[in-house]
Amino acid sequence: MTSRMHSSAPKKKHRAGPSLPDPVRGRGPVSATEARRLAGNPAGTTVAPLQLHSAEGLAGVGEQTWIEVIRKMDEVYNDLLQYEVALEEKNDELETSQHFIYSVLGSMSDILVVCNRAGVIETVNNALLQFIKRPASDLIGTVLFDLFALDTDREKVRRSLKNPQVTPLRDCEIPLRDVAGEVLPFSMNCTPRLNSRGMPVGMVFIGRPVGELKRAYHALREAHDDLKRTQQQLLHAEKMASLGRLVAGVAHELNNPISFVLGNVHTLQRYADRLQRYLSFLHGQVDQPQASPLYQELRMERLLQDLPSLIEGIVEGAERTRDIVDSLKRFSAVDRNEMVPLEVEVVVQRAVHWVTKTASEHFKVTTRIPAGLRVKGSQGQLQQVFMNLIQNAQDATAAATQPALHISAERLPHAVILRFHDNGPGIATEHLPHLFEPFFTTKPVGKGTGLGLSISYGIAERHGGGLSAYNHVQGGAVFELALPLCSEHQT
């Protein structure tokens, strides 16, 4: 088929204008019938008879009568010319409209089939011929139902043809067969075709291959998921930035009093040493019997023994508080995604320290990480990933009698594999494909947001690695984090 629809178009007919009869032009003798025709009266109408049967009668016709006959003939001729021009114009408009419709329908990418109420195909477009690989001559005049691959679809279309208003077809998947017998799934829509009086005379079927629709839907779904993931990551990044500013402010405010306490405790420790020496000197100079009651009453001996340990406890607590403040400052620092060489063991131990401080005392974490493993990345982001994985393991093993997590590392030629293996119940099979999707969580409402693993997955990808999960053969879940090793010449 060419680019237009397969049907016959009306041919343009050219008509010759009426010519004047020679007798009239020469004003020769005419019969009564001819006179009536020239006067604009059709045959069979009542006209006053002209006396033209004899020379006397012909001579009796005046010149005015002949002029009137010629005038009537000119009027008829002019009307015929106007009708001819109008007919030619209408014919041109009809051909232009038909060519326009044929070009539009022939350029459609969707298939088009027009049939009558009996299901006989009247017109098809080029898209259908290309899909089923058959010429138009094989389709025009055949039954529409022969194109369908399934008997159920044939019966469905028959019902729709009988009652188009009652059983319309809307987005109905109907497979067709091509010339080789291959089944091609299509999504079809059916619309009744009406005549000039509004009566149904057939149906118009329009369809599109389902595979193309599925690909378009899949691409749209992926774009929507990427947009949602990006939106949630931006939201979480904004929350983390706000939290970082808050933590930085708190750490800055705590740093001054902690420094003040540490300075005073060290001074107090020096003063305590001097005081103990002085009291020992006085105790040696004073008579023992007089000093014993007061010495015993004030329990000076126990005080002098406890004083060093008390001061050491204050110093240790203040130093630990200082370390916490320092960790808060490092955690809240805006590193702007700067990639620097990091010691894996140090970052992991810091993450374990933070999570286990709030965990149950029964939750045990063991690590087996070779020394010297260095990766290039963001310390704050990697620490966030480690903390998320450790926290997930803690939540997963909450019901275990002896909750535990084992963290190990394996060095490969160009990467390091960190494994977080817990002894929990593992991950349900239906949850594995959705584990790293935003907002997906198996925790009760209020216990989790479903963003931890999704954000960790994104951080791992940005570092050139990856994050995956599976169930261990011996029980429990395993999260594997792959990170590229830092080369020897990088510092």
3-state secondary structure the chain: CCCCCCCCCCCCCCCCCCCCCHHHHCCCCCCHHHHHHHCCCCCCCCCCCCCCCCHHHHHHCCHHHHHHHHHHHHHHHHHHHHHHHHHHHHHHHHHHHHHHHHHHHHCCCCEEEEEECCCEEEEECHHHHHHHCCCHHHCCCCEHHHHECCHHHHHHHHHHHHCCCCCCCCCEEEEEECCCCCEEEEEEEEEEEECCCCCEEEEEEEEEEHHHHHHHHHHHHHHHHHHHHHHHHHHHHHHHHHHHHHHHHHHHHHHHHHHHHHHHHHHHHHHHHHHHHHHHHHHHHCCHHHHHHHHHHCCHHHHHHHHHHHHHHHHHHHHHHHHHHHHHHHHHCCCCCCCEEEEHHHHHHHHHHHHHHCCCCCCEEEEECCCCCEEEECHHHHHHHHHHHHHHHHHHCCCCCCCEEEEEEEECCCEEEEEEEECCCCCCHHHHHHCCCCCCCCCCCCCCCCCHHHHHHHHHHHCCCEEEEEECCCCCEEEEEEEEECCCCCC
Single out the residue in 285, 305, 332 at which a domain terminates: 332
Q: Could you tell me if 414 and 473 lie in one domain?
A: yes
For residue 42, what are the domain limits? 22-104
For residue 425, being part of any structural domain is answered with: yes
For residue 230, being part of any structural domain is answered with: no
Q: What are the tokens at 90?
A: 């209408």
- Could you give the angle at which helices 379-396 and 344-357 cross, rounded to 10 degrees? 50
CATH code, domain carrying 186: 3.30.450.20
Residue 133, sorted as left (phi over 0), alpha (psi -120 to 50) or beta, turns out to be: left
Count of structural domains within the chain: 4
Give, in order, the Cα–Cα distances in Å from 93 to each of 10, 98, 100, 263, 378. 12, 8, 10, 102, 73
Q: What are the tokens at 344?
A: 């894996």
Q: What are the tokens at 326?
A: 């320092």
Q: Could you tell me if 122 and 182 lie in one domain?
A: yes
Q: Could you tell me if 464 and 361 lie in one domain?
A: yes
CA distance 33 to 23: 13
For residue 226, being part of any structural domain is answered with: no
CA distance 269 to 491: 41
Q: Could you tell me if 480 and 344 lie in one domain?
A: yes
Query: What does the pLDDT look like over 19-33, one tens digit per residue?
Result: 434 433 444 444 444
For residue 402, being part of any structural domain is answered with: yes
For residue 163, being part of any structural domain is answered with: yes
Instruction: Tell me which residue of 473, 435, 422 sits closest to 443, measured CA to CA.
Output: 435
What is the pLDDT at residue 302? 75
Q: Could you tell me if 209 and 263 lie in one domain?
A: no
Q: Could you tell me if 290 and 361 lie in one domain?
A: no
Regarding beta strands 364-368 and 404-411, do their DSSP bridges make them parallel or antiparallel, or are they unpaired?
A: parallel
What is the pLDDT at residue 52? 43
Taking the model in full, what pTM does it have? 0.40
Q: Could you tell me if 405 and 383 lie in one domain?
A: yes
CATH code, domain carrying 403: 3.30.565.10
For residue 17, being part of any structural domain is answered with: no
CA distance 37 to 51: 16
Phi, psi dihedral angles at 489 (to 5 degrees): -85, -10
For residue 491, being part of any structural domain is answered with: no
Q: Could you tell me if 352 and 320 lie in one domain?
A: no
One-letter identity of residue 232: Q
Residue 27, sorted as left (phi over 0), alpha (psi -120 to 50) or beta, turns out to be: left
Spell out the per-residue pLDDT of the chain, length 491, in tens. 433 445 444 444 444 444 434 433 444 444 444 544 544 444 444 444 444 444 455 455 678 888 888 888 988 888 898 999 889 999 988 888 888 877 877 777 788 889 888 889 988 888 888 888 888 888 888 888 888 888 888 888 888 777 766 566 777 788 888 777 788 888 888 888 888 888 888 888 888 887 766 777 778 888 888 888 777 767 666 666 666 666 666 666 676 777 777 777 778 777 777 777 777 777 665 555 445 666 677 677 777 777 777 777 777 777 767 766 766 666 555 454 567 888 999 999 888 887 887 777 788 999 999 888 899 888 878 888 998 899 889 888 888 888 999 999 999 888 999 999 999 999 888 888 888 877 777 776 556 666 778 888 888 888 889 999 999 988 899 999 999 988 654 55
Q: Are 334 and 365 in contact (CB under 8 A)?
A: no
Single out the residue in 73, 104, 135 at which a domain terminates: 104
Q: Could you tell me if 412 and 464 lie in one domain?
A: yes
Q: Could you tell me if 474 and 351 lie in one domain?
A: yes
Q: Are 402 and 475 in contact (CB under 8 A)?
A: no
Q: Could you tell me if 345 and 467 lie in one domain?
A: yes
Radius of gyration of the chain (CA): 50
Single out the residue in 80, 104, 128 at which a domain terminates: 104
Q: What are the tokens at 149?
A: 């691959």
Q: Could you tell me if 207 and 244 lie in one domain?
A: no
For residue 5, being part of any structural domain is answered with: no
Q: Which long-range contacts (CB under 8 A, 24 or more apart) does 102-107 make?
A: 102/3, 102/4, 102/5, 102/9, 103/3, 103/4, 105/4, 105/5, 106/1, 106/2, 106/3, 106/4, 106/5, 107/3
**330 burial via Cβ count (<10 Å: 0-12, 13-18, 19+):** middle
Give, in order, the Cα–Cα distances in Å from 214 to each of 205, 224, 325. 20, 15, 54
